[in-house]
Amino acid sequence: MAQETEERTRQNRWEAFGELYEEYLPKVYRYVKYRVGDVATAEDITSLVFEKALAKFRDYQAERGAISTWLFTIARNSVIDYYRRRSKQRTVSLDDVQPTTEEGDPVAEEIARRELRALLQLCLDVLPRREQDIVSLKFGAEANNRQISRLLQLTESNIGTILYRAVRKLRDCVQERSNGRQR
């Protein structure tokens, strides 16, 4: 009987983690991709986040915080770890090398989109880490200010103010850099 109850508990835990995975995989992936700007790296980090979450799922305590806060804390720490490792090594992506094409060409339009994304990522990287986190959680993970405030332990109004200022900085940076002026 005790073994049967333990097996049922284990099965319920697997089902609960499966539901967590289904619900949060897209949000965690978008958050991570927003932070790192590279699909393959975002996929690797997202996979790592869920590996860590699965390993620690048994230890999760609902009374200490929402499951989303717990999961995004793992994601945020994984991104920080990635940047720590990355700061020790420098590489150039082949995606950064682009062929030249004529205007109006679908390839040229794709290149322009990539350049804009790269410029936005460059401007995002210039922001302080807290602003990067807030922008990435808001637009990458589609979290609301309340969720972000719980995760970062700031007030909702503080999150709104920081977000407003960060978006304004991003807009100014993109405009300045796209006009050829760099900070």
Q: What is the pLDDT of residues 54-69, one digit of tens each?
A: 999 888 888 888 888 8
pLDDT of residue 63: 86
Asked if 155 and 161 touch (Cβ cutoff 8 Å), the reply is no
**Span 29-57, mean pLDDT?**
92
Q: Report the CATH number that the domain containing residue 64 is assigned in CATH.
A: 1.10.1740.10
Q: Are residues 107 and 83 in the same domain?
A: no
Tell me which of 95-99, 109-113, 148-152 is least confident: 95-99
DSSP 57: G
Q: Are residues 67 and 52 in the same domain?
A: yes
Q: Are residues 109 and 46 in the same domain?
A: no
DSSP 127: S
Asked if 173 and 124 touch (Cβ cutoff 8 Å), the reply is no
pLDDT of residue 183: 45
Q: Are residues 119 and 85 in the same domain?
A: no
pLDDT of residue 84: 86
Query: Is the pLDDT reported for residue 14 higher than 60?
Result: yes
Number of domains into which the chain is organized: 2
97 to 55, 100, 135, 136, 177: CA distances (angstroms): 39, 10, 28, 26, 19
pLDDT of residue 166: 93
Token readout for 116 is 């804009």
Q: Are residues 87 and 101 in the same domain?
A: no
Instruction: Give the residue from 91, 111, 132 where a domain finishes.
Output: 91
Query: Is the pLDDT reported for residue 95 higher than 70?
Result: no
The rounded percent of the chain whose pLDDT value lies above 90 is 37
107 — pLDDT class (breaks 50, 70, 90): confident
- Domain with 114 in it: 93-183
Q: Are residues 85 and 129 in the same domain?
A: no
pLDDT of residue 83: 85
